[in-house]
Chains A and B, each alone.
Chain A
Amino acid sequence: MDTETTILDRKTSSDHATLADKFNLDEPRVDWHDKTLWFIRKKRDKAASQLQEWEQLRAVASDIKNNVLANLHTYLLAFERNAQQNGITVHWASDAAEHNKIVHKIIEKTGIKQVVKSKSMLTEECHLNAYLKTQGIEVIDTDLGERIVQLAGEPPSHIVLPCIHWKKEEIGELFSHHLGTPEGNSDPQFLTAAARIHLRQHFMSSRLAITGVNFAVAETGEIVVCTNEGNADLGVQLADVHIACVGIEKIIPLRKHLGVFLRLLARSATGQPITTYSSHFQKPRKGQEMHIVLVDNGRSKRLGSADFRNALKCIRCGACMNTCPVYRRSGGHSYHYAIAGPIGAILAPGLDMKKHADLPFASTLCGSCSNVCPVKIDIHDQLYKWRQLLAQNRKVGITKRVGANTMAYILSHHTLYTFAGTAGRWLMKYVPFIISNRFNPWYKQREMPKPPEHSFARWYHQNRNFK
């Protein structure tokens, strides 16, 4: 069914254009957000340029991930077998709902009511926290950025830098309200120290830890979790039960491939050579129960699409977000999905074509994203392909459809095309207010082009065509 027809098809207040519009009302803030993320893109450039083999590394990583897609069946079975041999319980979840139920069931058996969780975009995707809350279980997000947005009641706006959209004064105010820090104190050092004490209490009291997984190694059954804060490790090592949630596409074939991916991940994400901790969990600690939940949630389906399967190579570094000129000027929340930015725009419509139909159009197809992607996902090509699919499935609004059909008709008939051009120039010259008015979105902040006297075709005919 078509969406309602308003000017330029603003569906509801929840589409990217409308949300980005709101975001842009505060121009100094947009500048601040944009400059902060651009700075991180520059840090990535600096770190990457230290490795003369950077482009080769990207090519190798891309090849490995392509191999994973072609052999996912084999690798998943190998991973499961090896993990089980190491004393880990492996679960399989078809979708988000099943993932949440599995995690809940594990927690329920223990009687634990409060758990700690380190960063996992997969659990965001599955809305795990909200589900567990309905079951009477409180989740404390322990990554500082995630804790901040959790206290604020918001989702993260960036997959690596969850509260990049928060200013330190605002965080100070938040902490004053929730943690009792002195009002007006916005010193990052002080606030972090306060958060350390607050979260240390939770680490000490929580007996169950949920983590994400950066890489799962088929060869050995081990999982790797990367953090700068050490929150994943602290949570797990003080817990009786460790639940690690991982998308099935996060498998890599061999342990030595970690050498490739760990060299790319942090440099791409934040410009660091490596995160502070890159922890390899192969066996549970003595006396601890360890679970891995493998999650599908649309991934196996996407695997079957030649156009879109490359998105499964993603290692969730966020480099595409940092470089995207649109993301930097619209903020992660404008993408209304757990994962924002370019990668979010090619993942989200796969899960809900109707809800996320606007995302592939939130782009100029500049191609910057594809070229910072450490695993060479053809992001901007997929954005283009999603647009075709969405138009074919009538998920593009009627104004655009009518407009495109009209344009196509005019441009297929030379006489009509010539006439339309002449008429347009005439209108713009003699009755400009017909086009230059507040109903024309172009005209809101830009002048219309000045209409020339004649088209080039007319000039050529008059000046060059001496047949």
Chain B
Amino acid sequence: MKVALFVPCYIDQFYPQVAIATLEVLEKLGASVSYPEKQTCCGQPMANAGFEDLTDPCNTIFIRQFSGFDYIVSPSGSCVLHIKDHLHSSANHEETSQIKKKVFELTEFLTDIVGVKHLNSKFYHKVGLHQSCHGQRGLKLSQMSELIAPDFSKPQDLLRMVEGLELIDLDRKDECCGFGGMFSVSEEAVSVKMGKDRVADHLQYGAEYITANDMSCLMHLEGILRRQKSPTKVIHIAEILNAGL
């Protein structure tokens, strides 16, 4: 299958190791992966700030870069959700609608499309799984605590396949980390308080690493951890799955 790698703009610029890990995981599992080199951004930062009407150029670039693949895979729940919900083009309806059907976040791609049941990954650490909101409630990557419905979790299922990984409990399994894009600076006090509370929840159960589907959440939590001079680190789920694979 022909897979296109969709790398969120801030991962491209600040966390390249996450994109490298995503690429390597996909290749090791047998996918033929291309990286459309002129991609930029899905448009979410502007759209969430109220400026969806400024995202036409981003949409045009995205459609041009990602047409003609079997699947488009990204290590980001929120970016994938944005494309699914908001990608639009006045000219190119068919292509747009095709792309929306083919775009996947990494863990849902591995679970639903590749059907991964077993991984040779090794990560001998205590890990806390942070449920990034857009992936969880938007893409339904795992069940949300609000609903009275059966439990499931695609990222958790994959992490349980990793040798040596000990998944910790949490008091609040799916409370938001407080990043929220521009919210992280425009409502700094609440954003940081939310992040500190998430960090405290992970630390009280001994997390050596905090992982998630979204690097934006982890960037925010890492900022707090490092300010607290905590030895606990953040790591994207792609990097864990790639470890020892």
Contacts and interface: CB of A to CB of B under 8 A. Distances in A.
Chain A in direct contact with chain B (Cβ < 8 angstroms): yes
B197 A34 contact: yes
Contacts, number: 211
Interface of B: 7, 9, 11-17, 19-20, 23, 35, 37-41, 43, 45-55, 57-58, 61, 133-134, 137-138, 144-149, 172, 174-176, 178-197, 219-220, 222-224, 226-227
A459 B138 CA distance: 31
B180 A364 contact: yes
B57 A408 contact: yes
A49 B148 contact: yes
* Most chain A CB within a 10 A radius of its CB, from B19, B38, B57, B193: B193
Nearest to A357: B50
B186 to A, nearest CB: 5
A455 B13 contact: yes
Nearest to A381: B85
Contacts of A442: 184-185, 188, 223
Interface of A: 8-9, 16-17, 20-21, 23-24, 27, 30, 34, 38, 45, 48-49, 51-52, 54-55, 323, 325-326, 329-330, 361-368, 371-372, 384, 387-392, 396, 400-401, 403-405, 407-408, 411-414, 417, 421, 424-425, 441-442, 444-449, 451-452, 454-457, 459-461, 464-465
Contact of B146 (A323, A446, A449): A323
A411 B194 contact: no
A424 B144 CA distance: 37
A397 to B, nearest CB: 9
Nearest to B59: A412
Nearest to A454: B16
A371 B147 CA distance: 7
A330 to B, nearest CB: 5
B51 A17 contact: no
B224 A408 contact: no
Contacts of B23: 460, 464
Contact of B222 (A396, A447, A460): A447
B15 A452 contact: yes
A211 to B, nearest CB: 31
B57 A447 contact: no
Contacts of B12: 421, 455-457
A446 B224 contact: yes
Given A365-B48, A404-B46, A388 B182 contact: no
A224 to B, nearest CB: 25
